[in-house]
Structure 1
Amino acid sequence: MYNFYYCKKALAVLIPAIVAILTPAKAVSQEVNTDTLMKHIIELSSERYEGRQAGTYGYNAAVKYCVEVLRSYGVEPAGEDGGWLQEFDVECNEIDNCTFHTYLPGAKNHDTYSLGRDFSCAAMTGRGYADANVVFCGYGLDASAYDDYANVDARGKVVIVASGVPNFLPSDITDRYATLRDKARVAKSHGAVALVSINMSKTCSDIEVQCRGYNGKLPHLATFPIIQPTRYCAESLFRGEEMPLDEAIAKIQETHKPQSFAFNKKFEIETNAKYRASAKTYNVVGIMHGASKKVKQEYIVIGAHLDHVGRQGETCFYPGADDDASSVAALLETARLLSELPVEKRPARSVVFVIFSGSEQLDKGTYEFIDHFRYQGRIEAFLSIDCIGSGDSIDVRGNARYPNLWGVACHNDSLYTNAMGRAKKTIKVYATEEELAERAKQKKLEEKEAAKDPKKMKALKKQKPTGNEKFSEQVVEGFQTMPSGDALAFQPLEIPSLVFTTFNGKQHQHTTNDIPENINRTMLTKATSLVYHTLCDLTRGYYRGRTYESKLQVYGPLIDD
C-alpha cells in the first residue's frame, strides 16, 4: 500500500523504462548481468528523478521504480502495515535557483558565476538576497584561542571562508566549527548577511562543484544564503585582493594566527529555496521468505541507500550514479539472481531487502529501519553495499569486529571474484640516506632550472620547509576495519555486519560528474557478484552470527601468509 501520490504523467514515463529492464532473457543465468546493472544505474541517475533528494517528488518516483523491480522478482512487501514502505521525516530544502555576481564599487561590469559550474549552494542554504562588501575570515572561527573575526568588522557584509578547520588546534575547539551551519551561525552572530565557503575538500577536483546533504545541526537559518565556490573559482574571487586564498591559508597554518582582511570587491548573491523541517520520505522493505522451516525465521538483511543530494535550479544536477545508484542496482540484481535459483537451491533463511532513505542525513533511514523492524532479534547478519561503481579493488569492511563473517566474504572472493583488496593506510617513516640524497639532487636540478626564469626562482625561494623533509610515506597493508555508514545502526544490537565498497573509489563523490559514463563496469560486476555469493552462503544457515562473533574484540593487524 502506497502512502504517497504518483501522478499519471510520471507513471507513463516510468512504466516503459521498467518493462524494458525487466523483460526476461531467454535463458536463465546465475551470472551477474552487467547490462542489467547499468540499465538500473542509467535509469536511477537520470534527470527524471531529480537527483533523488529525500523528501522530494523525484525520490518518491525512484522508490516506485525500485518497488516494481523487486515485485517482479517475487520479493514480497515487508514494510509498515503489510506494504512496501517505512515512512519517516527528514529535512528537505529544494533549491529553485541561485545567482552570484561580483563587482568593484563604481565599475560598470559585473563578473557572473554559474550555478553548477563555478559554485553550488549548501544543501541547507537559506533563501535571501545580499549585495554587500566582503571580508575574508580564514576558517570562520571565533574561539578565544584563535579568532578569525578579531580584527575585521563583519556587520552587514558577506563573509568568505575556507571550508574545514585549521589542523593546529585541538578538536575540542574546532569541532564547534566543522559544518557549514556552524560557520554560518558564527558569521551571522557577527552581523554577516551571507556566507561564501570555498570548498577545500580533496574528495573532488579543483573545478568540480560538490554538495553534501548534511550541513550540521539545527536550527535552520531560513534567510541566510550559503554558497560553495570551487577552488578554481576562488582564484578569480581572490584576484586583486590582499593575498590569494592559498597564500592566506598557508600563512594561517604557518603562523597559527588569523590572516583576515577586507575585500575590494562586493558580492551580490540571491538564493531561492523552499525549506521543510519535516518532509515525508520512505525506506523500501521487502522480503524473500526462506525455504527451510527450521531457519526461515532467521534473517539476512541486505541494504543500500537510494537517496542522493538532488538538484539546484536548472544547471546543477547531481546524478548519483556511483553514490549510490550502483549499490541499489547491485541489490536489485541480487534479488533477480535469488529469484532464478532452482527450488532445491533457494535460500534456507529469509532475505530482507532494504533500500534506505535519509542516508545523506547521517544514515537516518538505517536507524528508522532497525528501530521498527519487528524481528531485529532474529537478524543473523547485515550486508551493506556502498558506492561499488568505481575504484580498483573491493573493500569489505568489518574484519576487526566480525572476522568470521568477513571470512565468509573472503572465501567467496577466492571462489568467484578474486577482487578483494587489502586494507591500506599511509604512515610517515624516516627517509633513508638514499632517499635524502635523491631529494637533494632533485632540488639542485630545480634550482638550476629556475635560474633561467626569475619568476620560478622567486617562487622557489618563497617555498618554506613543511616539516616533512626528513620523512617518507609508506603504505601499510592489512590493517583492521570496522563497519561504517549504514552498518553503524546495527552495532548497538551486536548484529554482525559487513560493508561492501571499493578501494580508491568515489572519485566524483557528491559532484555533478557522478554519471553512468564514469562507472567502472568491471568493478561493479565483481562487487555485485561477491555480494550475491556471500549472501547465498549466509542464507544456507551455517554461519551463526550471534554465536561466532560473540567475543567482540579488535584483533591485531592481518599478516600475509
Structure 2
Amino acid sequence: MQRIPIAPDPRAVLAGRGQRLRRVRAATIVIGASAAILFAPAVWAQQDSSQAAIRAHTEFLADDLLEGRDTGTRGHEIAARYVAAQLAAIGVEARGTDGYFQQVPLRRRTLAASRLALAIKGSPVELVNGETVVVDGSRTETAEELDLPLVFVGWGITAPELGLDDYAGVDVRGKAVVLIEGAPATLPGALRAHFSWVQQKERMAAAAGAVAVVTIKSPERERISPWDYTRRARLQPALSWYSGNAEQAAPIKATVSLSPSMATRLFDAHGLDLAAIYAGASDTPPAARELDARISIRRETRHDDLVSPNVVGMVPGSDPQLRDEYVLVLAHLDHVGIGEPVAGDAIYNGAIDNAGGVAVMLEAARRIVSARPSRSVLFVATTGEERGLIGADYFAAHPVVDIDRIVAAISVDGLMAWHDFEDIVALGADHSNLGEASRRAAAAIGARHIPDPNPQRGNLALSDQYPFLRLGIPILFPNPGPRDPATGMAVHPNWQAYEENSYHQPSDDTSLPIRWDVAARWERYIRETILNIANGPRPAWYRDDPLMHGFAPNSLPVERPERGAG
C-alpha cells in the first residue's frame, strides 16, 4: 500500500544498535539462503502446512535484519534473494531477465536547495518549502528556474466521454495549472480512483500543454491525505524508474502542493470562495479561469542512480491452447525501511504491508505448481510499490512476456488476518468476469463480495494492479472486509487498531495479533481465484462497463451477469 516514508539518516538512527547489526549482517544472506532451501520443507511437513509456511515467510521478511526492505537497500536485496530461492525450491520457473530477477533501474532525486514565491496581483508572497508550499526534486534537471502564470482548472480532468473537460475554453500552454486533488464523487469508484491519481492529472495537464501542476486540498482530501503528512513526505528523497530517455511518468516539469491556508489566500485575493468551490465541485465542476498570479520555482537537485529487483517466476500452463496466456499475480516486496523512531524503534518492518502478502503469494504458488493450471501464471514480487508503484510500472513498460498475452492482473497487498471475516472487498470485480472467479473462490471459504466501504480513498489506483488497468487489462485487488460478524461491529477492533496505530509504523511487525489460521484461509481464497481465472473463460470486461470504455474500448466484452454485485 503505497506511501512515502519520513526518514532521517538511517546511520544516525541505528548508531546505538550498530554492534548488534554488524554481528548479524554478515550472517543475514546465509540465513536467507538456508531458510529458503532448508526451512520450508520442514514447515510444510506439519499438519497445518499453510499456516506454518505463511507465518515463517512473514516472520523472516519482516525481521529487523532486513531493516524494513526499503527500495534499493541491502534489506530489500536480501528479501528478493529469499523469495527467489523459495520459488526455486517449490518448482516455480525463473522468468526474469536475469534468472528470477528483473533489475529495475532507478533514479533517486534529492532536493538540495529551493526558493519559491507567488506573485498575486503583482504583490510578491514568499513561500517556505515544507510549510506553506512543498515541491520535491526534479526528475530530469539538476538546476531549474521556472516562472509561470497560474490557471485554475477545477479537478484538472479531461474525460469528455464522462462529461468532464476541465481544460475546455482555457489556454494553459506554457503555464502552471492549479487543480483540486481527487476527483468528483459522482464518478464510478474505479474511475474516481484513476482520475484522482496525481500522475494521471500530470498526464492530462501535459497533454493540454501545461508545464507545471499546483495542487490544492479539499477538506475531504485533507482527511484522507493530510497536509502535515504531505509537506514532510514530499521533501524526502524520491525515486522513479529511469532507463535512457524513458522514465516513469514525468510529463510535467514540477508538481507543487499549496498549503490549505495559502490556497485560501490565493483564491480570496481573486474574490473566490474556495470553501464554496470545494462544496459544489462534485455536482458542478468548477469553471476554469486564468488567475492574476504567477509562481516562481528555483531548485537544485542531486541525482543518484541505483537498481532494485522485481522477482519473477512462472508456473507454465498445461493446456497447449492456453499456456501462452498469462495470469499475473503481484505482491510488493518493499516496505518503507528505516524512519523516524517511535518509542525507540526506527525499523518499519511491514509485516502486514506487505511481508504477509508475499508470504500468501508464495504459498499459493507452491500449491498451484501441483495444480497444473491451464494458463500460465506469472508471480511477481515487486520493488518500489511504496515509492509510487515503481516496480509494477516498470514491469508494465518492460514485460518479460508479450503484454497482449497478459490477460489478468491480481494484486496481493496486505494480510488483514484479524478475524473470521465473512466479507471480501474485491476491487475491480464488478467490471470484468474476474469477479465471477473471485465470487466462486469467496463462496468456497464461506465469504461473499461486498461493495467498497471507502470508495473515496481511491484504493484501486494505490497498488500494483493499477499500471495494468491503464493498459486495459482486467484487474482485481481483493482484501477481507473489516466488519466483525461475531459482534456486528463495522470494523473489527484489531483492524481498527492496525489502521490507527501500526499502518506504516514500526509496530507493523509480527507481534501484532495476526490470526495465522485466517491467513491460511485467505491464501485459499487467493489460490482458488487464481486457478479459477487460469482454468476458466478468457478474462474480459463487461459490455458497456466504464472501465472498458476508459481503458480497453476495442476489447471483446462479455455480458454482465444479471444478479447484483453481492
TM-score category, normalised to shorter length: 0.5 to 0.7
Alignment match, 1:208: 229
Q: How far apart are 1:179 and its partner, in Å?
A: 1.9
Closer, same or farther: CA 333–307 of 1 in aligned 2, 3 Å: closer
Which one of 514, 519, 539 corresponds to residue 504 of structure 2? 514
Closer, same or farther: CA 354–128 of 1 in aligned 2, 3 Å: same
Which one of 261, 267, 287 corresponds to residue 235 of structure 1? 261
Distance 1:537 1:221 in 2: 35
Count of residue pairs brought into register by the alignment? 449
Contact 1:302 1:354 in 2 (8 A): yes
Which one of 381, 384, 394 corresponds to residue 410 of structure 2? 384
Alignment match, 2:312: 285
Q: 1:411-469: per-residue Cα shift (whole Å, max 9, x none)?
A: 4312xxx4x44235899xxxxxxxxxxxxxxxxxxxxxxxxxxxxxxxxxxxxxxxxxx
Distance 2:298 2:348 in 1: 22
Q: 1:459-482: per-residue Cα shift (whole Å, max 9, x none)?
A: xxxxxxxxxxxxxxxxxxxxxxxx
Q: How far apart are 1:272 and its partner, in Å?
A: 1.4
For 2:313, the aligned partner's letter is G
Contact 1:135 1:263 in 2 (8 A): yes
Closer, same or farther: CA 556–128 of 1 in aligned 2, 3 Å: farther
Distance 2:167 2:505 in 1: 44
Contact 2:150 2:177 in 1 (8 A): yes
Distance 2:287 2:97 in 1: 59
Alignment match, 2:18: none
Superposed CA RMSD in Å reads 6.5
Q: 1:342-397: per-residue Cα shift (whole Å, max 9, x none)?
A: xxxx54559855115488267552575573599x7xx9x96723323459743345
Q: How far apart are 1:79 and its partner, in Å?
A: 1.6
Distance 2:403 2:179 in 1: 44
Contact 1:127 1:224 in 2 (8 A): no
Distance 2:528 2:248 in 1: 45
Distance 2:252 2:437 in 1: 49
Q: How far apart are 1:555 and its partner, in Å?
A: 0.5
1:67 matched to 2:75: no
Alignment match, 2:330: 304
Aligned identity (percent) is 14
Alignment match, 1:274: 303
Contact 1:86 1:369 in 2 (8 A): no
- Three-state SS of the structure 2 residue aligned to 1:327 is helix
Which one of 160, 181, 185 corresponds to residue 163 of structure 1? 181
Which one of 433, 439, 442 corresponds to residue 401 of structure 1? 433
Contact 1:148 1:258 in 2 (8 A): no
1:84 matched to 2:100: yes
Alignment match, 1:180: 202
Alignment match, 2:110: 96
Distance 2:199 2:313 in 1: 40
For 2:99, the aligned partner's letter is G
Closer, same or farther: CA 167–484 of 1 in aligned 2, 3 Å: same
Distance 1:488 1:255 in 2: 26
- Three-state SS of the structure 2 residue aligned to 1:70 is helix
Closer, same or farther: CA 544–162 of 1 in aligned 2, 3 Å: closer
Contact 1:137 1:259 in 2 (8 A): yes
Alignment match, 1:545: 536
Distance 1:140 1:333 in 2: 43
Alignment match, 1:555: 561
| Structure 1 residues 454-533: aligned runs within 5 Å | 485=466, 499-503=477-481, 514-515=504-505, 517=507, 522=514, 526=518, 529-532=521-524
Contact 1:126 1:222 in 2 (8 A): no
- Three-state SS of the structure 2 residue aligned to 1:384 is strand
Q: 1:237-272: per-residue Cα shift (whole Å, max 9, x none)?
A: 6458626754555587769434654569x7665251
Distance 2:183 2:539 in 1: 42
Larger radius of gyration: 1
Contact 1:305 1:327 in 2 (8 A): yes
**Long gaps (5+) in structure 2:** 1-21, 157-164, 342-346, 456-463, 483-490, 541-555
Closer, same or farther: CA 516–322 of 1 in aligned 2, 3 Å: farther
For 2:59, the aligned partner's letter is K
